[in-house]
Chain A
Amino acid sequence: AQSVTQLDSHVSVSEGTPVLLRCNYSSSYSPSLFWYVQHPNKGLQLLLKYTSAATLVKGINGFEAEFKKSETSFHLTKPSAHMSDAAEYFCVVTNSGGYNKLIFGAGTRLAVHP
């Protein structure tokens, strides 16, 4: 079985400060992990993915995440927040390869203040 736990339902940062969105996963086999972003009333956009290659993954808009098997974590970071980063972020797990159904975390709402 697979599951995802996003440790913070809300994160608030000031513009220009670092962002950390935390995610822990559980999987009985090699997982593929993703971070998606959803802006209000919009579809989901893929930020980055881990699929058993490099453990430090760089994505779009300056985001990156590090896969840590020993900690079963896949935290999302960004060095400097921008106002346009305010959105809902979902950590997602699926089986290795990414073809099958996705298991979503509960989501973290990121607020960015001027």
Chain B
Amino acid sequence: KNQVEQSPQSLIILEGKNCTLQCNYTVSPFSNLRWYKQDTGRGPVSLTIMTFSENTKSNGRYTATLDADTKQSSLHITASQLSDSASYICVVSSSGGKLIFGQGTELSVKP
């Protein structure tokens, strides 16, 4: 069964600290993995996409990694800011075009 599991479900960190969010998937055949950020009361917005051949990709303070062998991805946030408080959703695309959504990690950055 195609599944995407994210951990932790929720996370509280202090402003300026780093954090790492995890995404494990069992989707096959795998096409790509995308991380979305969803601010409270808003729709999700794409942060980055990881394809099979990519190991690491950065977007400002956000760095995504992908290990296609272990079927794991992580999203690392450096020097967190209050505006990073949001839900982060991992979405895996199968080669057939189906999107499988994770349940998200709720990140709260406190001053």
A binds B: no
Chain B residues with CB under 8 Å of chain A are: none
